[in-house]
């Protein structure tokens, strides 16, 4: 019998419970043993839930799980950072394996938790923390053993991708689609982590640290979101044969690496232009593998729960390694050298604004106080420095993908 403690019982936690019930016979045949969820940490014992579970399995006290010597594996699906860090650390010290979906705690304590798990000879697995139901981290860990990864790139937030898809396909305004996404459960009541790019940045932190072999921290990543993109921007980009996507990217460059989350205008027909709705997609470029693509649902009860349970099965069958996959490579951050062509729209323009002519490659729109143009190729750092002069003017900045 493999005994599991479940920290959290929201949508994903209930998905895990349901799958284990539905697949109990098949899993017993596969593993040669039963899997039992012994205890579940909740905030309210008597809350009405869509998933029926015996009251005897519910607890308000995390120590009933972390401190239970009979529990072998802890699944952490709380979304908290500081408390989760404490629970995971204590679990490792007590010899328990941990599987988590919590990208915030993995991102904040990636190196520390990876090494702590190795020291205690236990598994620390987090497949579902990046791209939800898309299996990308385990294949990436396999590839870094023999392959040199030069770039990872991806659409990593289903909420943002859903919003941009609806704006593009139906010409809807950002605010209207955001409300719709909140009503459908894609976006939180406070969507700032999603739409400002923070959620995507944390996932890129995990991906890039694994892929490049160096610690790429949250502070090392330039981060922008989609909350300044308007239906006018979408319309103008569509006329140019492009779609807006929030893209996370980390790549090796001469002298180090670059890491950025930013909206990009990708050509219609290109790889990421086909990733629509709440789907996520990751592209990995390796010296020996070439370009590898992974795509699928970035969230949802069953896709995410399934990804978590594949990690649980790896713990039981010991089909991954307990040693940390992180490497101590030292690379210099070269974000100041990021350059390209950019779509820029500035609102409330007036004659007092002086945009250098050498910045402008092509004027796209100049009407009703909105001035939109494509820049010449230039450093992002220089462009942002110039835009700081117009801090009272709303603007939308989107990189032009080659």
| Entry field: residues in the chain | 402
Inform me whether the pLDDT recorded for 56 exceeds 70. Answer: yes
Catalytic residue numbers read 203
pTM of the predicted protein model: 0.96
* Residues 225-260: tens digit of each pLDDT: 999 999 999 999 999 999 999 999 999 999 899 999
Which tokens is 231 given? 């239906």
Question: Has residue 354 got a pLDDT over 80?
Answer: no
Evaluate if residue 390 carries a pLDDT over 70.
yes
What average pLDDT does this structure show over 300-329? Answer: 94
Residue 222 has pLDDT above 90, yes or no: yes
pLDDT (tens digit per residue) in 116-167? 999 999 999 999 999 999 999 999 999 999 999 999 999 999 999 999 999 9
For the segment(s) 2-125, the CATH number from 3.40.50.1100, 1.25.40.10, 3.40.50.720, 3.10.50.40 is 3.40.50.720
Question: What pLDDT digit, counting tens, does each position of 284-297 carry?
Answer: 999 999 999 999 99
Helices and strands counted in the chain (H then E): 14, 19
Structural contact between residues 386 and 359, judged by C-beta atoms closer than 8 angstroms: yes
The CATH fold assigned to 137-297+329-334 is: Dihydrodipicolinate Reductase; domain 2 (3.30.360)
| Maximum alpha-carbon separation in the chain | 75
**87 contacts 76 by C-beta, under 8 angstroms:** yes
What is the DSSP annotation of 29-96? HHHSS-EEEEEEE-S-TT---SS---GGGEES-THHHHT-TT--EEEE----SHHHHHHHHHHHHTT-
pLDDT of residue 79: 84
The pLDDT of residue 24 is 94
Question: Residue 105's pLDDT is what?
Answer: 97
Instruction: Please name which of 101, 76, 70, 71 lies closest in space to residue 88, comparing C-alpha atoms.
Output: 76
The secondary structure of residue 376, as a DSSP letter, is P
Separation between Cα atoms, residue 18 and residue 310, nearest integer Å: 15
- With a cut of 80, say whether residue 353 has pLDDT above it: no
At 65-95, the pLDDT tens digits run 999 999 999 999 998 899 999 999 999 999 9
pLDDT of residue 351: 65
Backbone angles phi, psi at 395, to 5 degrees: -145, 160
Annotated domain spans of the chain: 2-125, 137-297+329-334, 338-400
CA 135/CA 128 separation, integer angstroms: 8
CA distance 111 to 131: 20
Would you say residue 188 has pLDDT above 70? yes
């Amino acid at each position: 019998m493999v005994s599991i403690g479940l920290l959290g019982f929201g949508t994903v936690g209930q998905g895990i419970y349901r799958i284990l019930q539905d697949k109990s016979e098949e899993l017993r045949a596969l593993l040669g043993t039963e899997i039992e969820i012994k205890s579940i940490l909740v905030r309210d014992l008597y809350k009405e839930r869509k998933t029926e579970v015996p009251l005897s399995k519910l607890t308000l006290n995390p120590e009933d799980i972390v401190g239970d010597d009979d529990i072998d594996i802890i699944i952490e699906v709380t979304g908290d950072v500081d408390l989760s860090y404490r629970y995971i650390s204590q679990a490792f010290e007590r010899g328990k394996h941990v599987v988590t979906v919590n990208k915030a705690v993995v991102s904040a304590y990636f190196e520390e938790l990876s090494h702590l798990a190795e020291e205690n000879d236990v598994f620390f697995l987090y497949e579902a923390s990046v791209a939800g139901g898309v299996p990308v981290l385990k294949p990436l860990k396999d590839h870094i053993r023999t392959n040199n990864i030069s770039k990872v790139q991806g659409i990593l937030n289903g909420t943002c991708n859903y919003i941009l898809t609806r704006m593009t396909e139906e010409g809807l305004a950002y605010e209207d689609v955001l409300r719709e996404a909140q009503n459908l459960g894609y976006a939180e009541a406070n969507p700032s982590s999603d739409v400002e790019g923070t959620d995507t940045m944390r996932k890129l932190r995990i991906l890039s640290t694994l892929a490049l072999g160096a610690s790429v921290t949250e502070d090392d990543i330039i981060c922008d979101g989609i909350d300044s993109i308007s239906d006018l921007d979408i319309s103008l980009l569509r006329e140019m044969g492009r779609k807006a996507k929030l893209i996370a990217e980390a790549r090796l460059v001469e002298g180090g690496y670059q890491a950025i989350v930013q909206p990009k205008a990708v050509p219609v027909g290109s790889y990421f232009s086909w990733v629509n709705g709440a789907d996520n997609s990751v592209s990995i470029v390796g010296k020996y593998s070439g370009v590898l693509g992974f795509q699928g649902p970035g969230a949802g009860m069953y896709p995410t729960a399934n990804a978590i349970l594949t990690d649980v099965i790896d713990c039981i069958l010991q089909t991954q390694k307990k040693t940390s996959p992180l490497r101590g490579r030292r690379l210099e951050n070269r974000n100041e050298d990021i350059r390209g062509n950019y779509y820029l729209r500035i609102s409330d323009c007036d004659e007092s604004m002086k945009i250098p002519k050498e910045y402008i490659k092509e004027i796209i729109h100049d009407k009703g106080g909105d001035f939109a143009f494509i820049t010449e190729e230039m450093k992002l750092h220089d462009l942002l420095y110039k835009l700081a002069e117009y801090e009272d003017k709303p603007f939308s900045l989107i990189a032009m993908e080659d």
